[in-house]
Structure 1
Amino acid sequence: MERPEFKKMMAEARAKKISAIVCYRLDRISRNIGDFAKLIEELDGLNVSFISIKEQFDTSSPMGRAMMYISSVFSQLERETIAERIRDNMHELSKTGRWLGGTSPTGYKSEEVKDVTIDGKIKKACMLEIIPEEADIIKQIYKVFLETNSLTKTETYFIQNGYKTKNEKLFTRFALRNILTNPVYMIADEDAYHYLIENDVDLFAEKIDFDSKRGIMAYNRTIQKSGKANQMRPMDEWIVAVGKHAGLIKGTEWIKVQE
Structure 2
Amino acid sequence: MSLHACLYCRVSTEEQSREGFSILAQRDRLMAFCRAQSWDVAGIYVDDGHSGAKLDRPALSRLRQDAKTDLFQLVLVWKVDRLSRKVAHLAALVDEFDRAHVAFRSVTEPFDTSHAAGRAFMQMLGVFAELERENIRERSALGIRKRVEQGFVHGRPTMLGYRFVEKGKLEVDPASAAVVRWIFGQYLAGVGTLRIAQHLINGVSGLQTEVVYREFRHVSAHSVRDRISWILKNPIYAGYAAIGDDLYAGRHEAIIDLTTWQQAQAQIQSRQNIPNRAHASRYLLTGRIICGQCGARMFGYRQPNRSPEARHIRPYYEYYCCRSNSGFQGRNWTCDNWGVKREHAEEVVLGALRGLAVEGIPGRAAPSLPEDPFTADLSRRRQELQASLGQAERRQRNLFRAIEEAPDLDAAVLSRVRELAEEQKRLALELAVVEKALRNGGPGLSRPEVERLLQDVPRILDAAGHDQIRELLRTFVRRVVVTPVERPSKGHSRLFPKEVTVEFYPL
- Smaller-chain TM-score range? 0.5 to 0.7
RMSD: 3.2
Distance 1:169 1:22, change over 3 A: farther
Q: Work out whether residues 21 and 48 of structure 1, in 8 Å CA contact, stay in contact via their aligned partners in 2.
A: yes
Distance 1:247 1:255, change over 3 A: farther
Q: Work out whether residues 19 and 48 of structure 1, in 8 Å CA contact, stay in contact via their aligned partners in 2.
A: yes
Deviation at 1:81, TM superposition (A): 0.9
Q: Work out whether residues 27 and 75 of structure 1, in 8 Å CA contact, stay in contact via their aligned partners in 2.
A: yes
Unmatched 5+ stretches in structure 1: 113-124, 188-214, 222-237
Partner of 2:250: 243
Distance 1:56 1:175, change over 3 A: farther
Partner of 1:148: 192
Partner of 1:76: 130
- In structure 1, give the amino acid aligned to 2:254: A
Partner of 2:480: none
Q: How does 1:1-259 map to 2 (within 5 A)?
A: 1-100=55-154, 102=156, 105-111=159-165, 127-142=169-184, 147-150=191-194, 155-161=197-203, 163-165=213-215, 170-171=218-219, 177-178=226-227, 180-181=229-230, 183-187=234-238, 215-219=239-243, 221=244, 238-244=245-251, 245-248=253-256, 250-257=261-268, 259=272
Relative to total residues, which structure has the larger helix share, 1 or 2? 2
Deviates more, 1:17-26 or 1:127-136: 17-26
Q: Work out whether residues 162 and 171 of structure 2, in 8 Å CA contact, stay in contact via their aligned partners in 1.
A: yes
Structure exhibiting the larger radius of gyration computed from Cα positions:
2
Q: Identity rate of aligned residues, in percent?
A: 25
Distance in 2 (CA, whole Å) between partners of 1:97 and 1:185 is: 10
Distance in 2 (CA, whole Å) between partners of 1:20 and 1:175 is: 52
Distance 1:141 1:157, change over 3 A: same
Deviation at 1:76, TM superposition (A): 1.2
Distance in 1 (CA, whole Å) between partners of 2:83 and 2:198 is: 46
Residues 65-96 of structure 1: CA deviation (Å, up to 9, x unaligned): 11111111111111111211122222322222
Residues 38-72 of structure 1: CA deviation (Å, up to 9, x unaligned): 22222222322222222132001211111111111
Deviation at 1:157, TM superposition (A): 4.3
TM-score, normalization: structure 1?
0.63
Distance in 2 (CA, whole Å) between partners of 1:16 and 1:140 is: 64
Distance 1:16 1:160, change over 3 A: farther
Q: Work out whether residues 58 and 65 of structure 1, in 8 Å CA contact, stay in contact via their aligned partners in 2.
A: yes
Distance 1:160 1:19, change over 3 A: farther
Unmatched 5+ stretches in structure 2: 1-54, 204-211, 273-507
Deviation at 1:185, TM superposition (A): 4.0
Deviation at 1:17, TM superposition (A): 4.3
